[in-house]
Structure 1
Amino acid sequence: MIEGGISKLDLKRRNRMQVLKAVREKGPISRVDIAALLQITRAAVTIITNEMIDQHILEEVGEEPAEPNGSTRKGRRKILLDINETYKFVVGVYVDEKEICIGLTTMNSAALEKKTIAYRPGSLDIPTLVELVWETTQHMLSASCLKPSDVLNVGVGIMPSMFQAMRYKTGLEQQIRFPELQTQMEEKMGVPAYCNSAITEFAMAGITFGESHPQVENQVFLYCDSGQRYHAIPMLGGYTIPGLLENENYIEQLCVKLDGKKWGGYPNGSVRAELSSEAMQEEVAPFFSQEQTPQLWKLLEGDLSRLTLGELMTAAETDTVLQPVTDGLLLRFVILLYTLYSVYIAKYLCLFQFGFTPENLEQLRACAREFGGDAFADAILLSPIQERYRFLCGCAYAIQTGFYERGGLA
């Protein structure tokens, strides 16, 4: 006999997840409005929300505001519910080839404590990382007058540059040691651990990070790996598209200039041929000198290999000889963004690790507005997670995966 269907626990988790999602995106919101939004009975919503209030996951935050026009509603005004941001606290960890960043946040990812620990390249292994996270967390909890039982979970983000160090051989294949890291972290910390690529976690945090009630929208997370290679992670409805992350170089095969330059096995005018670090250096090299481009020379300290599009845009404001080259590269970058914007029907394009300043962003948007209109230009944003708060990628991932997707159940 084949058993099927959904268990009572899975059904309960799914219903709670839907309620939490409604409160997160629409809150503060009343039970009546949750029922209407989810198309389930008010009685069911009352049972679910009352249970989560007893667990301190949700809290009543007062009555709905009076009507702006001064009209009065008959009967009692609706009681509004919201997420209790101090229900539990979350530990976030970010790891790259040079440093570990650890932080403690509330349920809405508001940072309470953080610490960055530098280490010698090649000296970090899993037991050492786990011990550092545990010791640092104990100090942070003590400083915030919290107990270990106040921690909900821990999220760990590993940068791709660390993947090779995190691999082990199984026969002819190599696998990333996330399961081993997760097991050791959970045993030491005493709470669930969620480990993933830091880039995937940054993408999940996305442009709505830090908002009290973010809306789940299609977006594309575009990043530049150590200033060299382009990668894009499409997020549809808040989730990555399976399969695309394995094909890491698909973004560099896109065409951004008809009859453009050739590069190895890439199509003519590809991102790799036109927008890679090497391609930009090749275009700038004929002008690069302390005499012709003093501002760019100063920004790069005379080292052209450090060139980024953002620095080129900044320097071109005074180094006018660079303006034609900058305009051409900027247009090609905008074409790349418009391609992703159109293909994935993206509400936002979130840029990470490009070194753009707010002034660069406005210049980029001006070019995008001329090329594709206001909606396209306004969709372009910089990642909201600042460099010294990179541990927030782990927090956002742990909260989404270990809280919302589980309906607040352990």
Structure 2
Amino acid sequence: MKNKKRRIKDLIKNIVTYFATTFTVIGLFAIIFYVFKNGLPYLSWKFITSDYAETLNVVSTKQTGEVFDDPNIENAYFVSNYGISIKNDKSVDGKKIITICYVAVNSPFNSLVETNNNAEYKAKKGEQLDVLIGETIDLQDAYAKATDGAEKFAEELNKAYKITYLQCKTTGGGIRGSLITTIYLILLTLLFSMPLGIGASIYLVLYAKNLKFKNILTNMIDATSGIPSIIFGFVGSLIFIPFVSTITKVKGYSILAGALTLTIVLLPTIIKTTSESLETVPKDYMKASLALGASKTQTIFKVILPNAIPGILTSAILSIARIIGESAALIFVMGTSIEDNIYILKGSTSLSLHIWSLTSSEVPNYGAACAISIIILIVVFALNIIVKIITYRINLKKE
């Protein structure tokens, strides 16, 4: 009877375990499938390297009377009276557009006139053409828009003796600015947090002799690692934004304030990981170095730290993954405005904040948000593999 009850209990436990595991795996793969399905169509080199902001120039010009030779570009439509070739294309966010793929040397498009200030404007390859309004030689209207397609647009453009209104756009919707911001954030945060974290670890492992005080510090570090990151962001807005403003005389959000905030967020992880790495170094190394006449400081920097480098690298890699994925703490200190011109003393968005900005707007762009998510997932996955490799090599050395 007892065996039967035990078997029933074991069966229930196994069913619950398998159900929970299956649910978790299915949920994880469903999320990854959704992200890749919606993000891959947006993911391209243009998406990564393009600015987010779209620039618009309204220009005018007219025919010069010269008829230009067709360069015979595949899938392009040539406008002989203006010496340009245009083609159907897609924007970074997947919309249908018309782009310039060829401009002749003497083309009127090399000397367009901006309608708002009469300044000369030169059309460039890759630029978008949107709305066209003009007049034919017999004063008939010539009109076309990007949604009409490149063929129709080229026909109307060829008929227009005089162009009174033409929208020229540069491609927007890219993540170049947010990518640069993330790189700045990683470099600055590691510059501040690694020396502090390694120094604190050296003190706790190799210098602290008062066990009670050491335990208090260790418990405080453990407790700090459990604080929600949004609290760090709030504290950063109260401390680091005024601090940066006082030193630099530049007020408001900044990448520097974001890096200082993330430094506090990452310190517990760096201290714990580095401390564990220092403790794995055999104590005989310290004794042997001191016996040979080296000072304790020399021993730490020339013997102990070099042997603890794999663990320190692990803490750095884990920190990079945390920086890339962090968003809550950065909203308070860096803002949510997506910028293309990046300055350390100005606010901007990291990749994770870029996702938040895209999905919180009036018209959420989930496709672009999924594309950024794919980039973050791939980077974090690669960093985790590197951590596993380093850990494996450390274990081999121990054996």
Normalised TM-score (structure 1): 0.23
TM-score, length of structure 2 as denominator length: 0.24
Indicate the structure with greater strand content.
1
- Greater fraction of residues in helix: 2
